[in-house]
């Protein structure tokens, strides 16, 4: 097959696809012309149940675009977002998130706003979140769930949101725990103490709190030991100075075994 033949074939395939898509759109529009808004919405629901996301989206979009201020139009807007979230790829989840967030901002008094906030959180946390990865999506999800809980304490989605908050807070606590252990391995005990104090204050329900308490006590012992060594060093230096004995900076280095002062990144 020549290059020209391949190009012609590709053009024909794309043309046929475009015609098929155009015909499908015309068929749907012709069908909707004979239906009222509730029937159109119900048709979208039927297609959604059959997992025909793209076709369902066309019906929901028509209802929302035609009746944007109608309660049914509001529901259709949410269902459009629902069709995107079903695909679960990054692009679709991003599109769904934008639509849920727009709904929550555009209709602050809508009875389904709590659902929109729930789904904002779901689109951020639907992928597996790990404590040793970027936590930006986790914080965004947590913010959406906490907003739902604060604004709608009686929401039917309250328990779901609370369960997700507990799960996300456990991951955040685990991040602090991993970081504290890293500092412990490097004997940076003040940094360990600060991290664990933050963890204990902000995540008191963390599942490994007994381990946290043990490491916190160890950090305190190491800091106290370093301070005692430092005090003893200062006493010896003052004594030598009083006696007129020479002293070297090497003595300071050799007498301290743990770093108890934080680096700029710990502050």
pTM above 0.85, yes or no: no
Q: Is 81 in the same domain as 121?
A: no
**C-alpha–C-alpha distance, residues 70 and 81, integer Å:** 17
**One domain for residues 36 and 71:** yes
Residues whose CB falls within 8 Å of the CB of residue 208, separated by 6 or more in sequence, listed in order = 173, 174, 177
Please say which residue of 161, 185, 209 terminates a domain. Answer: 185
Residue 191 sits in the same domain as residue 178: no
Give the C-alpha separation, 142 to 161, whole Å: 9
Answer yes or no: do 111 and 163 share one domain: yes
How does 82-113 read in b/e, with b if 16+ C-beta sit within 10 Å? bbbbeeeeeebbebbbebbbebbeebeebebb
Residues 225 and 180 in one domain: no
Position 251 scores a pLDDT of: 54
Owning domain of residue 61: 32-86
Q: Give dist(CA 203, CA 173) in Å, integer.
A: 6
Give the separation between CA 151 and CA 142, rounded to whole angstroms.
14
Q: Is residue 49 a contact partner of residue 41, using CB atoms and an 8 Å limit?
A: no
pLDDT at 87: 87
Supply 241's token pair: 């100075």
Per-block mean pLDDT, blocks of 10 residues, the chain (267 long): 45 43 65 80 95 94 94 96 92 95 95 97 86 86 96 97 96 96 95 96 96 96 89 82 63 50 47
Q: How many domains does the chain have?
A: 3
């Amino acid at each position: 097959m020549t290059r020209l033949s391949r190009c012609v074939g590709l053009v024909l395939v794309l043309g046929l696809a475009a015609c098929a898509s155009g015909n499908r759109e015309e068929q749907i529009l012709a069908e909707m012309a004979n239906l009222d808004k509730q029937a159109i919405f119900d048709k979208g629901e039927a297609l959604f149940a059959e997992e025909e996301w793209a076709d369902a989206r066309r019906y929901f979009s028509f209802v929302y675009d035609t009746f944007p201020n109608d309660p049914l139009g509001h529901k259709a807007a949410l269902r459009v977002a629902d069709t995107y979230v079903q695909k679960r790829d990054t692009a679709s989840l991003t599109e769904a998130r934008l639509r849920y967030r727009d709904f929550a901002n555009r209709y602050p008094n809508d009875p389904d706003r709590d659902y929109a906030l729930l789904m904002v959180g779901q689109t951020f946390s639907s992928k597996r979140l790990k404590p040793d990865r970027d936590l930006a999506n986790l914080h965004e999800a947590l913010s959406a769930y906490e907003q739902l809980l604060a604004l709608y304490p009686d929401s039917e989605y309250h328990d779901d949101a609370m369960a997700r908050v507990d799960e996300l807070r456990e991951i955040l606590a685990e991040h602090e725990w991993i970081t504290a252990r890293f500092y412990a391995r490097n004997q940076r005990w003040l940094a360990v103490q600060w991290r664990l104090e933050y963890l204990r204050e902000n995540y008191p329900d963390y599942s490994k709190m007994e381990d946290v308490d043990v490491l916190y006590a160890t950090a305190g012992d190491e800091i106290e030991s370093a301070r005692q060594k430092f005090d003893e060093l200062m006493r010896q230096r003052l004594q030598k100075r009083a006696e007129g004995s020479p002293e070297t900076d090497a003595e300071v280095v050799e007498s301290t075994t743990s770093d108890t002062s934080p680096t700029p990144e710990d502050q």
